[in-house]
Amino acid sequence: MKRIYLDYIASTPLHPEVVEAMLPFLHEKFGNPQSLHSDGQQASEAIQEAREKVAQLINAESSEIFFASSGSEANNFALKGLVLAHQKQGKHIILSSVEHQSILNAAKYLEKLGFTFSHIPVDKFGKIDPEDVQKVLTQETILVSIMLANGEVGTIEPLAEVAEICRSRDILLHTDAVDAVGNMPVDVKALGVDALSLAGNQFYGPKGSAALFIKKGKRILPFIDGGIQEGGRRAGTEDVPAIVGMGKAAEIAMQNMASHVERMKDLRDSLIKRLPELIEHTILTGHPVQRLPYHVSFCVEFVEGESMLLNLDMQGIASASGSSCTSRALKASHVLLAMGIDHALAQSSLVFSLIDSTTPEDIDFLLEIFPPIIERLRKMSPLYTQYLEEKEK
């Protein structure tokens, strides 16, 4: 059976050129970048080259890039490192209510250390209002962390406006851009952020490759104490193949950015338009326009997410859902609830994320097999029967 993978937000495959770039560093070029001999120096140069490519992708300087092992690590590094380095100036931090768990749970850790947090709300599209940031600012506020784009609903946040507010008050701004970098143009200077997290496996790089951008001159405490790797801020022998792979992936992403975005948007908008035409009671989640180019998310009323996902999977399509049953924590998505979506509808969420190799035929196939699945599941759903009965009355 043909498999159609539409869960690229979870991970992308490696680009063949990325694999090729990495291979020598898994075999003959195995030197430790900190060694002074030429084998070590060869690895060190490769890392520097990758650092420059990653920097270019987001319009940063190579000295502003610190490699990490995952987007979650980069987020932890940013939040804990920046907050602890600036605690003398204050103890208050502002987050959005739709952040990734690696931000929300890092915040819980910092709460135990005596820091306080304000979570600003989002509208029905999952978008924050920069004015809300202004409203909760205090003399104690040292950091604002708001994601660039949300992975569950695709919405892009108005970060540049937040940056203006932060700049005028001399408050640090971090953004979790893991789902955005490599998939849409991201420019740290235009955004005006002081720190930004990104991950290589979101744009054809390997899992285990990620980076944190820290603007020159901004203080941050080391995340892993040890040797002098990553400027002493993140010690430990570098994962050279992963870093080299992410560098190559960044280079490819830069080259293809314009055509990638255009292609993704076309496919995305076609799916967004056609799915609700074929299936009644389907609600787009997230912003209809200001959203990740490769991201489509819906709530399909009266049907639970996991049962849709499994049915699609059995017919060859991989997708994602934010329902309680698919999250191992068995909680409905905090993002959908923050957007004011009720629990029943939040259980009915489904996310499709596309990539360059996704074809219009793939979308056609999805649209062919999906409506019968929903029809079958709705027949089985007491919520749908109840809806029909009430409608008759």
Partner 1 sequence: MIYSDKVMDHFQNPRNVGTMEDADGMGLVGNPVCGDVMKFYIKVKDNRIADVKFQTFGCGAAIAVSSMVSEMVIGKTIEESLQVTNESVAEELGGLPKNKMHCSNLGADALHKAIENYQDRQKEKENASKKAEHKKRHYCPYCEEPIEGMENMCQRCQIEFEDCPECHKPMNKKADVCPHCGATKPRV
Nearest-approach distance from CB 382 to partner 1, in angstroms = 4
* Least distance between partner 1 and beta carbon 160 (Å): 37
The CB-of-359 to partner 1 minimum distance in angstroms stands at: 27
Question: Is 310 among the residues that bind partner 1 (CB under 8 A)?
Answer: yes
Joined together, the tokens standing for residue 355 give: 């990539």
| Stretch in the footprint of partner 1 (CB under 8 A) among 103-111, 118-126, 253-261, 319-327 | 319-327
User: What is the number of other CB atoms lying within 10 angstroms of the CB of residue 262?
Assistant: 10
Annotated catalytic residue: which of 84, 165, 325, 369? Answer: 325
- Name the minimum Å distance from CB 365 to partner 1: 20
Distance of alpha carbon 308 from alpha carbon 370, whole angstroms = 9
In the bound complex, what is the minimum distance in angstroms from residue 347's beta carbon to partner 1?
Answer: 5
Amino acid at 391: K
Which of 369, 363, 184, 181 lies closest to 268, judged by CA?
363
Given the complex with partner 1, which of 41 and 327 has the nearer CB atom?
Answer: 327
Q: CA nearest 146: which of 124, 161, 168?
A: 161
306 near partner 1 (CB under 8 A)? yes
The rounded distance, in Å, linking the Cα atoms of 349 and 309 is 10
| Candidate residues 26, 160, 190, 314; the one interacting with partner 1 per rule CB under 8 A | 314
Other Cβ atoms less than 10 A from the Cβ of 164: the count is: 13
Residues of this chain, 321-340, that bind partner 1 according to CB under 8 A: 323-326, 328, 330, 332
Listing DSSP states for 85-141 in one string gives HTTTT--EEEEETT--HHHHHHHHHHHHTT-EEEEE---TTS---HHHHHHH--TTE
**What's the min distance (Å) between Cβ of 304 and partner 1?**
5
Is 299 considered catalytic here? no
Overall residue count recorded for the chain in this entry: 393
The reply to whether 383 sits near partner 1 by the rule CB under 8 A is yes
Pick the binder of partner 1 from 16, 114, 217, 382 (CB under 8 A).
382
For position 380 contacting partner 1 by CB under 8 A, the verdict is yes
Beta carbons within 8 Å of 130's beta carbon, 6+ residues apart: 158, 161, 162, 164, 165
Closest separation between CB of residue 50 and partner 1, Å? 36
Strand partners, 197: 176, 212
Interface map 341-370 toward partner 1 (x if CB under 8 A): -xxx--x-----------------------
x/- string (CB under 8 A) for partner 1, residues 47-86?
Answer: ----------------------------------------
SS3 of residue 178 by DSSP: coil
Q: Out of 65, 163, 303, 350, point to the residue binding partner 1 (CB under 8 A).
A: 303
Q: Which is nearer to partner 1, 14 or 332 (CB)?
A: 332
Query: Residues near 28 by Cβ (< 8 Å), separated by ≥ 6?
Result: none
- Please select the residue that binds partner 1; options are 176, 304, 354, 362, rule is CB under 8 A: 304
Tell me the C-alpha distance between 36 and 265, whole Å. 48
Q: Of the two residues 256 and 327, which places its CB atom closer to partner 1 in the complex?
A: 327
Which chain residues interact with partner 1 by CB under 8 A? Answer: 302-307, 310, 314, 323-326, 328, 330, 332, 342-344, 347, 379-385
Q: What is the set of active-site residues?
A: 325
